Amino acid sequence: MRVMVVYAHPVETSFNAAIYGVVTETLRKRGHDVDACDLYAENFPAIMSRDERLLYHTIPANRALAAPWIERLEAADALVLVFPTWVFAPPAILKGFCEKVFLPGVAFDLVDGKVRGALRHLKRVGGVSTYGGTRWRAFLAGDPPRKLFTRMLRAYVGPGVPMSFMGCYDMNRNDEARLKAFLERVRAAYSTW
């Protein structure tokens, strides 16, 4: 299976980098073809200009917003997002990726004003995120990163596609043992793909 792993953290020594490493390594060991997409290293153009926004609903011209990444997504059989949660949301670069890659005519079609998912080629979707606060704090804030999977991506891929989301909460107080244990949970989860 070809798996596009999208990573969004600017610091190469971060715990998110370790998660990204475990995910990509585990998938490769399982025999998958991994498309490792580091948004910061690739200088993904996250900001949407006025002209780009005006082009957003113009199919297929809107593909110009992020053509290389759209092609990679369309070539993938599965998708994994690895990112931190900052201010109860994904980093701006990942938000920009979602806005410029999950476009009408790519990720969804608008039919009578309703969204109809168009990422039906994806066989599996996963995500791993870190949170500074506790799971309870994320719950009280509505946990938007988790909803990125349970609502938006679910609508794009359809109800029958296996989806998983793992959150490493309380990063502000986690010790080395808890972080290592989380990495092992990530390894175990992706070793079943």
pLDDT tens, position by position, 11-60: 999 999 999 999 999 999 999 999 999 999 999 999 999 999 999 999 99
CB 7 within 8 A of CB 82: yes
Please give the model's pTM, rounded to 2 decimal places: 0.94
Class of domain 2-190: alpha beta
The answer to whether residue 71 scores a pLDDT higher than 90 is: yes
**CA 3 to each of CA 59, 74, 111, 121, 143: distance values in angstroms, whole numbers, following the listed order:** 26, 11, 29, 12, 25
Residue tagged 């759209």 (tokens): 70
CB 164 within 8 A of CB 188: no
Domain ranges in the chain are 2-190
**Residue range 128-171, pLDDT digits in tens:** 999 998 888 888 888 989 998 888 899 999 999 999 999 999 99
**Residue range 81-128, pLDDT digits in tens:** 999 999 989 999 999 999 999 999 999 998 888 889 999 999 999 999
Please give the structure tokens belonging to residue 132.
Answer: 């500074």
Q: In angstroms, rounded to a whole number, what is the distance separating the alpha carbons of residues 126 and 193?
A: 10
Relative orientation angle of helices 92-101 and 67-75, to the nearest 10 degrees: 80
The answer to whether residue 66 scores a pLDDT higher than 90 is: yes
Q: In angstroms, rounded to a whole number, what is the distance separating the alpha carbons of residues 19 and 29?
A: 15
Q: Which of 92, 122, 89 is nearest to 107 (CA)?
A: 122
Total residue count of the chain as it appears in this document? 193
Residue tagged 């890659």 (tokens): 101
Q: In angstroms, rounded to a whole number, what is the distance separating the alpha carbons of residues 38 and 8?
A: 6
